[in-house]
């Protein structure tokens, strides 16, 4: 599961960098790399980045729950 989280993080970073390049320079790196955004390889990369984003949302929820609950539970337990 940890390896899947790392792969998802890498794909999310690739997607973020690609969006940043598009926003600043109107340059689509993935499309450039794979010969156009309608190329099947580029579409697979776009789909994998999207799936990685959804996966990371679930991971973020678990991390936030672990961090928020552990700190608030510790504070509540100290008062009792």
Note the pLDDT tens digit of each residue in 17-67.
Answer: 999 999 999 999 999 999 998 899 999 999 999 999 999 988 887 777 677
Please give the model's pTM, rounded to 2 decimal places: 0.72
Domain count, the chain: 1
Instruction: Check pLDDT > 60 for residue 73.
Output: no
36: left (phi over 0), alpha (psi -120 to 50) or beta: left
Query: Residue 71: what pLDDT?
Result: 57
Position 78 confidence tier, pLDDT thresholds 50, 70, 90: low
Beta strands in the chain (DSSP E): none
Q: Is 45 exposed, middle or buried (0-12, 13-18, 19+ CB in 10 A)?
A: buried
Domain that holds residue 15: 2-79
């Amino acid at each position: 599961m940890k390896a899947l989280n790392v792969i998802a993080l890498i794909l999310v970073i690739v997607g973020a960098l690609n969006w940043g390049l598009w926003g600043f320079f109107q340059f689509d790196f993935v499309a450039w790399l794979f010969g156009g955004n309608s190329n099947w390889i580029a579409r697979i990369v776009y789909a994998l980045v999207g799936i990685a984003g959804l996966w990371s949302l679930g991971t973020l929820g678990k991390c936030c729950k672990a961090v928020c609950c552990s700190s608030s539970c510790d504070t509540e337990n100290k008062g009792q």
